Structure 1
Amino acid sequence: MANFKQKTFESKKGTTFLFQHPGVRMVSKINDQSKNKHGVLSEERMSELMLKHVIVQPKRTIDDFEDYSEYMEVVNKAYAFITGNDEEEQSDDNEEGSEGQGQA
């Protein structure tokens, strides 16, 4: 069995979460299962799947979040992590940081 990568993420409220990549097949299943019969993304279903399969610590449900903004921040970051979009954000940040260092 493959060794899946993990990443820690700290929300703006200061809560630290551990994300674990569930594998390419599960990411594909999450994308498929998150859509309704018309192919429209269901926020609630996507969130439930992210909380179940990707956000491994602390284990939470949608109802455990006290405010919507933290809930969406965590779910969106977890989705960016499993789809590889968080790496693009990091490389953009690194490029901006290195450009700024060269100017004095």
Structure 2
Amino acid sequence: MPWVYLILAGIFECGWAIGLKYADGWTKLVPSLLTIAAMALSFWLLSTAMKTIPVGTAYAVWTGIGTVGVAVLGMLLFGESHDIMRIICLLLIVSGIVGLKVFSPA
């Protein structure tokens, strides 16, 4: 179950990072409130996962999911670059996340 919490924490990290864009410097009420809620949930899920998963592994996986997720969402939602080298770099991050899961003692 801790890995489920960690994956969900990473997904909510993507949500709050994208939410920051839509909150427009905290000037839009609804996106701002949703972003704050996603932040709180992401941090709670991360802290719950860290009860079992080592801190270095949990934090690396959490930020990795967030990094890859936000980069992909940036491509899809905001027309950011999707050239091949960027995709390869994102795949390297994904391989690191998978490796941490496979070789983690938790």
Same fold (TM over 0.5): no
**The structure with more helix, counted as a fraction of residues:** 2
Determine which structure has greater relative contact order: mean sequence separation of CA pairs < 8 Å that are 6+ residues apart, divided by chain length: 2
Hey, which of these two has a bigger chunk of strand by percent?
A: 1
Question: Which structure would you say has the larger Rg?
Answer: 1
